[in-house]
Amino acid sequence: MSVREDDIQSGFATLFRDLSTYADADVTINDWSVLDNSNAGAPFIIIETADQFESRSDSQSPVTDWTIIVWLIASFSDWDTSLNAFQSNRQEIIDTLNAGNAGSAGGLESVYVSRIAGGEKQYIYDRYGDPQHDPEALPQYIAQRLAVDVQEF
């Protein structure tokens, strides 16, 4: 069975929206405009188009491996509170992706989450806060890019 990338993205979005932490509008696909609103609504999840994929036809049916990008974005209030909350949100996402039905991107047939890898944490500043020019500037959000490897089988 061939699974489309947007099916996997939608499956992830459904999984994350089912968590009590996230409202439906807090989980988007390829839509960064959620950050245009107040950070009081965070945390947010933005599911992006895959950076990498590999498709091959060396068996009876084509097989594609996707690396789906999931951005976890949490609001910043102060360092310890914000980083602890961010860590808790991230663990919830990891646990959700590793759990039973979630491993199939929300119940898709012939799909399996094989690996989750996190990139370096990043800090997002509002347009007036620039840490290079204002050493006391504080971020508006804490963000991390998670690469989720999904295999068709």
Q: Which of 47-56, 93-102, 104-113 has the lowest mean pLDDT?
A: 104-113
Would you state the pLDDT for residue 102?
Answer: 54
**What's this model's pTM, rounded to 2 decimal places?**
0.88
**Domain ranges, ordered by start, for the chain:** 5-152
Would you state the pLDDT for residue 93?
Answer: 94
Q: Max CA-CA distance within the chain?
A: 59
Which CATH class, in words, describes the domain spanning 5-152? alpha beta
Q: What are phi and psi of 111, to 5 degrees?
A: -130, 140
- Say if CB 100 and CB 106 are below 8 A apart: no
* Strands (DSSP E) found in 15-81: 27-29, 44-56, 63-75
Cα–Cα distances in angstroms (integers) from residue 85 to residues 13, 17, 88, 92, 132, in the given order: 21, 18, 5, 11, 26
CA 110 distance to own-chain centroid = 21
- Say if CB 76 and CB 142 are below 8 A apart: yes
Mean pLDDT of 92-109: 75
pLDDT, tens digit, 9 for 90 and up, residues 61-74: 778 889 999 999 99
Report how far residue 41's alpha carbon sits from residue 37's, in angstroms, rounded to the nearest whole number.
8
